[in-house]
C-alpha cells in the first residue's frame, strides 16, 4: 500500500497535519499524550482529509526540550509507548491513505546519548563528533566565543572532566553534532535508512540549516545593549549546507523514493530556499521560513518583544516567497506549530465575536497560497492561546529561562508575563480539545499543561457536529486543494498590496482564475471595484459568510471566487 502513496511530487497536492505527541491524546491516564492515543484519533485526521501526519519527536529522551533532545534515535520513549505502538500508528495511517513523516533532530543529540557520553572522554574516538573547544580567557565567562544559546545564556558548557567546552546552540542538554566529521553523517544516514525501511514516508528536519557552521566559530556582533553575549550567526547556513543536504538525499535515497522532506531553516532567505528546493539539485522538497513569524518582534531584538504587524507588511512577506519560488522550488505554508503562539490569537481576533470567522479567514488566505499547507493540531478548531497569568503555569524551558534572565536584567515581572502570554511556546502546547469535559477529553488523569478554559465552546466534538465550524471550513479547503489544480499549480499574483485591511490575490492556471478576497480586520472593509477583477458571473467556491457577496466585506469575511 505504501508504494501507492509515493508518486513524484505527490506532496504538492498534500496537506500536512502536525501532531505534538505530548499534547494530542493520552491513553493511559498519566497526563501525557502517547502513541496509542494518537492512533485512537486517526479518524479525526481522516475526516479532515489531510494527507500526511508529521509526528513531533517520540524518540527516547530525557525530555529537557520535550523530546527535541534525543538519547536514542532508534527507540520510542516509554512515556509515549513502544516501537510496536509506532508500527501500529504507521499502519493505521497507511490504512487510511495518510503518510507518516518523522521529526529528524540531528543538529544535536541529548547529552545522555551514548555518542556524547563517549565523547566526553578526550581520548575517545567520538571526541570529534561534537564541538569540543578550549576556553578563551578574553571571551565572556572564559568560553570559546561570545555566542548566546537560543534558550538564553552562553552557548557553551564547561565540562570539568577534560577542562574543555562543548557547543550547544540550544539547551546544555542538547550538544551540537559535528557534521564536519563524515562518521557523524554516515551514522545519521544509516539511522534514516532504518526508519525508511520501517515504513516512514519522509522527514521534517529540525534546524537543518545549522548542520554546517562556520568552523572558525567567530564571535558574533554585539547587538543587545544589555548583554555581552551575541546571536550565534556563525551556525546558520554554513558553507557546506547544500553539500550535506545533497549527500543526505543521495545516501538515504530521499528524492529517489519520493519521500517528503521539509527543512526547518531559521534565517533562510528566499534565495537560499529557492536553491535548496530546486528539484534538479536534489536537496529538499521545501523549507520552513521564519520570516513571517518574526514580523511581530522589534527588529534587532529577540522574540520577546512585541510589535504590531501592519497587514501590508505580512502580505508582502508571503508574496515575496510566492514570487521568489514561482519558477523554481516550492513553498511550505504555515501559521502555527509547536513553537509558535496560536494563529487566531496572533494574527486573527480570538474574541468570542470574531474567533470563528477570523480562524476561517486566516485558513483561507494561507491554503490558497501556492505551496504545501501545514495544519498544527487544534488549529482546525480555532484553538486560542493558553491565557496563562502566572509563571508557575509555564513548563517550556525557553519561556522559563527567558523569564529568569529578563527579571534578572530588571524587567518588571508583569511585563515578562504579558509578553509570555503572547509569545510563549506553551500557548501551542496545551492539550488538544476533543470535547467539553474537564480536561477536554485529553486525559483521565492530570494533564501536564492545563486544558484551555474555552473548551466548552472550542472542541472537536462540537466542531464536527456544526457544519459552519472552523473544522468544516478547513475540511473544505483541503478538499478544494485535492480537486482544483489551480489551487496547487496556479500562478500567484497580489492584488491591493497596500490595502490596510484586505488580503487579496489571484491564482491563475491557463484560463482558470481564482480571486481570494479576505478582510483581515474586525471592522468592515471596502474594496474599490475598479481595483479588483470583475466579479459578476463569478462562482463563490468557499466563503466565511452567507450571501450577499458585496465589495464591502464584513469583519473577517473572506471568499474564494472563480472568475
Ligand atoms: O526549533 C528551532 C528554532 O529555531 C527554535 O529556536 C525556535 O525558533 C524557538 O523555539 C522559537 O522560539 C526547533 C524545534 O522546533 C524546537 O521545538 C526545538 O526546541 C529546537 O529546534 C531545538 O531542537
How many angstroms separate the CA atoms of 370 and 323, rounded?
A: 10
Residue tagged active-site, from 34, 148, 206, 379:
206
455 lines ligand 1 (CB under 6 A): no
pLDDT of residue 1: 37
The total number of residues shown for the chain amounts to 563
Please, are residues 103 and 111 in contact by the beta-carbon 8 Å criterion? no
Strands 16-19 and 372-376: parallel
266 lines ligand 1 (CB under 6 A): yes
**Which amino acid residue places its CA nearest to atom 7 of ligand 1?**
339
303 lines ligand 1 (CB under 6 A): yes
Please, are residues 19 and 377 in contact by the beta-carbon 8 Å criterion? yes
pLDDT of residue 300: 81
Q: Which helix (H) or strand (E) holds 273?
A: helix 270-276
Residue tagged active-site, from 69, 103, 264, 350:
264
Q: What's the 336 CA to ligand 1 centre distance in angstroms?
A: 13
Question: Hey, which residues does 493 pair with through a beta bridge?
Answer: 506
- CB 420: neighbour CB atoms within 10 A? 25
**Which amino acid residue places its CA nearest to atom 12 of ligand 1?**
339
How many angstroms separate the CA atoms of 153 and 402, rounded?
A: 9
Q: What angle do CA 497, 290, 518 make, to 5 degrees?
A: 30
How many angstroms separate the CA atoms of 126 and 331, rounded?
A: 37
Q: For residue 290, which atom of ligand 1 is closest to its CA? A: 8
Q: What's the 193 CA to ligand 1 centre distance in angstroms?
A: 25
How many angstroms separate the CA atoms of 151 and 425, rounded?
A: 12
- CB 243: neighbour CB atoms within 10 A? 13
Calculate the alpha carbon distances from 120 to 111, 116, 188 in Å. 10, 6, 20
369 lines ligand 1 (CB under 6 A): no
How many angstroms separate the CA atoms of 419 and 412, rounded?
A: 11
Q: For residue 337, which atom of ligand 1 is closest to its CA? A: 15
Residue (of 87, 55, 5) closest to 257 by Cα position? 5
Q: What's the 207 CA to ligand 1 centre distance in angstroms?
A: 7
How many angstroms separate the CA atoms of 453 and 438, rounded?
A: 9
**Which amino acid residue places its CA nearest to atom 9 of ligand 1?**
339
In this prediction the pTM is: 0.98
How many angstroms separate the CA atoms of 552 and 78, rounded?
A: 55
Q: What's the 57 CA to ligand 1 centre distance in angstroms?
A: 12
Q: Cell for 154? A: 552562553
Active site residue 264: yes
The cell 466585506 sits on which residue? 553
For 112, the 3-state DSSP assignment is coil
**Which amino acid residue places its CA nearest to atom 18 of ligand 1?**
68
Q: For residue 338, which atom of ligand 1 is closest to its CA? A: 17
Q: What's the 282 CA to ligand 1 centre distance in angstroms?
A: 25
Query: In a mutational test of the pocket of ligand 1, which residue from 206, 237, 290, 294 has the highest number of ligand atoms less than 8 Å from its CB?
Result: 206
Q: What's the 54 CA to ligand 1 centre distance in angstroms?
A: 16
pLDDT of residue 4: 56
Q: Identify each DSSP E strand in 91-216 by its residue range.
A: 99-104, 132-133, 156-159, 164-167, 202-205
428 lines ligand 1 (CB under 6 A): no
For 528, the 3-state DSSP assignment is coil
How many angstroms separate the CA atoms of 558 and 254, rounded?
A: 38
Calculate the alpha carbon distances from 540 to 366, 504, 536, 548 in Å. 18, 15, 11, 11
Q: Where does residue 352 rank: exposed (0-12), middle (13-18), buried (19+ CB within 10 A)?
A: exposed
Query: In a mutational test of the pocket of ligand 1, which residue from 150, 168, 374 has the highest number of ligand atoms less than 8 Å from its CB?
Result: 150
User: Is the N-terminal amide bond of 548 cis, ω within 30° of 0?
Assistant: yes
pLDDT in tens, the chain (563 residues): 344 567 889 999 999 999 999 999 999 999 999 999 999 999 999 999 999 999 999 999 999 999 999 999 999 999 999 999 999 999 999 999 999 999 999 999 999 999 999 999 999 999 999 999 999 999 999 999 999 999 999 999 999 999 999 999 999 999 999 999 999 999 999 999 999 999 999 999 999 999 999 999 999 999 988 889 999 999 999 999 999 999 999 999 999 999 999 999 999 999 999 999 999 999 999 999 999 999 999 988 889 999 999 999 999 999 999 999 999 999 999 999 999 999 999 999 999 999 999 999 999 999 999 999 999 999 999 999 999 999 999 999 999 999 999 999 999 999 999 999 999 999 999 999 999 999 999 999 999 999 999 999 999 999 999 999 999 999 999 999 999 999 999 999 999 999 999 999 999 999 999 999 999 999 999 999 999 999 999 999 999 999 999 999 999 999 999 99
For 270, the 3-state DSSP assignment is helix
Active site residue 206: yes
Query: In a mutational test of the pocket of ligand 1, which residue from 174, 236, 339 has the highest number of ligand atoms less than 8 Å from its CB?
Result: 339
Q: Cell for 553? A: 466585506
Q: Where does residue 3 rank: exposed (0-12), middle (13-18), buried (19+ CB within 10 A)?
A: exposed
170 lines ligand 1 (CB under 6 A): yes
Q: What's the 339 CA to ligand 1 centre distance in angstroms?
A: 6
Q: For residue 266, which atom of ligand 1 is closest to its CA? A: 4
- φ, ψ at 531 (rounded to 5°): -95, -5
Sign (positive or negative) of CA dihedral 203, 209, 214, 218: negative
304 lines ligand 1 (CB under 6 A): no
Calculate the alpha carbon distances from 339 to 293, 342, 347, 427 in Å. 10, 9, 15, 9
Amino acid at each position: 500500500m505504501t508504494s501507492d502513496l509515493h508518486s513524484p511530487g505527490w506532496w504538492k497536492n498534500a496537506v500536512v497535519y502536525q501532531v505534538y505527541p505530548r499534547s494530542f491524546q493520552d491513553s493511559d491516564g498519566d497526563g501525557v499524550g502517547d502513541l496509542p492515543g494518537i492512533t485512537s484519533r486517526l479518524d479525526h485526521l481522516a475526516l479532515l482529509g489531510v494527507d500526511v501526519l508529521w509526528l513531533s519527536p517520540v524518540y527516547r529522551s530525557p525530555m529537557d526540550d520535550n523530546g527535541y533532545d534525543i538519547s536514542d534515535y532508534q527507540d520510542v520513549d516509554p512515556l509515549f509507548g513502544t516501537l510496536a505502538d509506532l508500527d501500529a500508528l504507521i499502519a493505521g495511517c497507511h490504512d487510511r491513505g495518510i503518510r507518516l513523516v518523522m521529526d529528524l533532530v540531528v543538529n544535536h543529540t541529548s547529552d545522555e546519548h551514548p555518542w556524547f557520553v563517549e565523547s566526553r572522554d578526550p581520548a575517545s574516538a567520538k571526541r570529534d563528533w561534537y564541538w569540543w573547544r578550549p576556553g578563551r580567557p578574553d571571551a565572556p565567562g572564559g568560553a570559546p566565543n561570545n555566542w548566546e544559546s537560543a534558550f538564553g545564556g552562553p552557548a557553551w558548557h564547561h565540562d570539568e572532566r577534560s577542562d574543555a567546552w562543548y557547543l550547544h546552540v540550544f539547551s546544555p542538554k542538547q550538544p551540537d553534532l559535528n557534521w564536519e566529521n563524515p562518521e557523524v553523517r554516515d551514522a545519521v544516514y544509516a539511522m534514516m535508512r532504518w526508519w525508511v525501511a520501517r515504513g516512514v514516508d519522509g522527514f521534517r528536519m529540525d534546524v537543518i540549516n545549522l548542520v554546517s557552521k562556520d568552523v572558525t566559530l567567530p564571535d558574533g556582533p554585539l547587538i543587545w545593549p544589555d548583554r555581552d553575549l551575541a546571536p550565534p550567526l556563525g551556525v546558520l547556513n554554513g558553507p557546506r549546507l547544500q553539500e550535506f543536504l545533497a549527500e543526505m538525499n543521495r545516501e538515504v535515497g530521499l528524492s529517489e523514493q519520493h519521500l517528503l522532506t521539509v527543512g526547518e531553516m531559521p534565517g533562510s532567505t528566499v534565495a537560499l530556499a529557492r536553491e535548496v528546493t530546486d528539484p534538479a539539485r536534489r536537496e529538499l522538497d521545501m523549507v520552513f521560513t521564519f520570516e513571517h513569524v518574526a514580523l511581530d518582534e522589534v527588529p534587532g531584538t529577540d522574540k520577546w518583544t512585541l510589535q504590531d504587524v501592519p497587514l501590508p507588511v505580512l502580505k508582502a512577506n508571503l508574496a515575496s516567497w510566492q514570487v521568489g519560488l514561482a519558477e523554481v522550488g516550492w513553498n511550505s505554508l504555515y501559521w502555527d506549530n509547536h513553537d509558535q503562539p496560536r494563529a487566531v490569537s496572533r494574527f486573527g481576533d480570538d474574541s468570542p465575536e470574531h474567533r470563528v470567522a477570523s480562524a476561517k479567514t486566516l485558513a483561507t488566505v494561507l491554503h490558497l497560497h501556492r505551496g504545501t499547507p501545514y495544519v498544527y493540531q487544534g488549529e482546525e478548531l480555532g484553538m486560542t492561546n493558553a491565557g496563562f497569568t502566572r509563571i508557575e503555569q509555564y513548563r517550556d524551558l525557553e519561556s522559563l529561562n527567558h523569564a529568569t534572565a529578563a527579571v534578572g536584567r530588571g524587567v518588571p515581572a508583569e511585563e515578562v508575563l504579558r509578553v509570555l502570554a503572547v509569545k510563549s511556546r506553551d500557548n501551542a502546547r496545551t492539550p488538544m480539545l476533543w470535547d467539553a469535559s474537564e480536561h477536554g477529553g485529553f486525559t483521565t488523569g492530570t494533564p501536564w499543561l492545563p486544558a484551555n478554559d474555552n473548551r466548552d465552546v472550542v472542541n472537536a466534538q462540537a466542531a464536527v457536529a456544526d457544519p459552519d465550524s472552523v473544522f468544516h471550513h478547513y475540511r473544505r479547503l483541503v478538499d478544494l486543494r485535492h480537486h482544483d489544480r489551480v489551487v496547487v499549480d496556479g500562478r500567484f499574483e497580489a492584488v491591493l498590496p497596500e490595502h490596510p485591511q484586505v488580503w487579496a490575490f489571484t491564482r491563475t492556471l491557463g484560463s482558470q482564475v481564482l480571486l481570494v478576497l479576505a478582510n483581515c480586520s474586525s471592522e468592515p472593509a471596502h474594496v474599490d471595484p475598479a481595483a479588483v477583477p470583475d466579479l459578476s458571473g463569478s462562482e463563490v467556491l468557499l466563503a466565511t459568510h452567507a450571501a450577499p457577496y458585496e465589495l464591502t466585506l464584513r469583519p473577517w469575511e473572506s471568499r474564494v471566487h472563480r472568475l
